[in-house]
Amino acid sequence: MEVVVARLGRPHGVRGELSIEVRTDVPQERFVPGTVFATDPASGSLTLETVRDHNGRLLLTFAEVADRTAAERLRDVLLVADVEQVEEPDAWPTATLVGLRAVTVDGREVGTVVGLQHLPAQDLLEIEQPSGHRALVPFVAAIVPEVDVAGGRVVLDPPGGLLED
């Protein structure tokens, strides 16, 4: 299964090093020299040469990127890795969640899942409400007690004020 593991950021220095926005829970396993990544948008594969921490931010170099100019062209490109799908009872790829109906525990339909944001503390479900406004709902068991992919819905138990009435 292919998953996005990082977004390439701005170049660092003149030798083609790039900062990244990590989008994986296991960067130490994903960013190993010699790893080959696909890109999105597709611009050929990138072979990881070096990884280093710079003030809490990972900096990467790739065999195909010789200098700052080449690195600048890759800004905002996504790194895609082919990973084994691990069956976890409470883990869903974003594509599986997008399009599910969002209903409250009492059965009231409150919108549709349109995205998932991965933040350091927790993930947030993006719910488009009937009014067109989007709500960010913490994707934690206390607020999202059930994900019923087969039934096409997520069940929410939101605290007051999180969603429109």
63-76, pLDDT tens digit by residue?
A: 999 999 999 999 99
Tell me which H or E stretch contains 29: helix 27-30
Kindly report each contact of residues 26-29 with a partner whose C-beta sits within 8 Å and lies 24 or more positions away, as own/partner. Answer: 27/58
Reply yes or no on whether the pLDDT at 86 is more than 60: no
How many Cα atoms are found within 13 Å in the side-chain-facing hemisphere of 98? 7
Reply yes or no on whether the pLDDT at 53 is more than 90: yes
CATH architecture type of domain 2-82? Beta Barrel (2.40)
User: For the chain, what percent of residues have pLDDT higher than 70?
Assistant: 96
Reply yes or no on whether the pLDDT at 17 is more than 90: yes
- Rounded average pLDDT over 147-160: 94
Output the CA angle 23-32-11, nearest 5 degrees: 60
Helix (H, G, I), strand (E, B) or coil at 57: strand
5-14, pLDDT tens digit by residue?
A: 999 999 999 9
Helix (H, G, I), strand (E, B) or coil at 97: helix
- For residues 14 and 98, give the distance between their C-alpha atoms in angstroms, rounded to a whole number: 40
Fold classified for 94-156 = SH3 type barrels. (2.30.30)
Domains in the chain: boundaries: 2-82, 94-156
93-148, pLDDT tens digit by residue?
A: 788 899 999 999 999 999 999 999 888 788 899 999 999 999 999 999 999 999 99
CA 37 to chain centre: 16
* pTM higher than 0.95: no
| Choice among 23-37, 72-86, 103-117 with the minimum mean pLDDT | 72-86
Closest CA relative to residue 103, chosen from 127, 68, 75, 71: 127
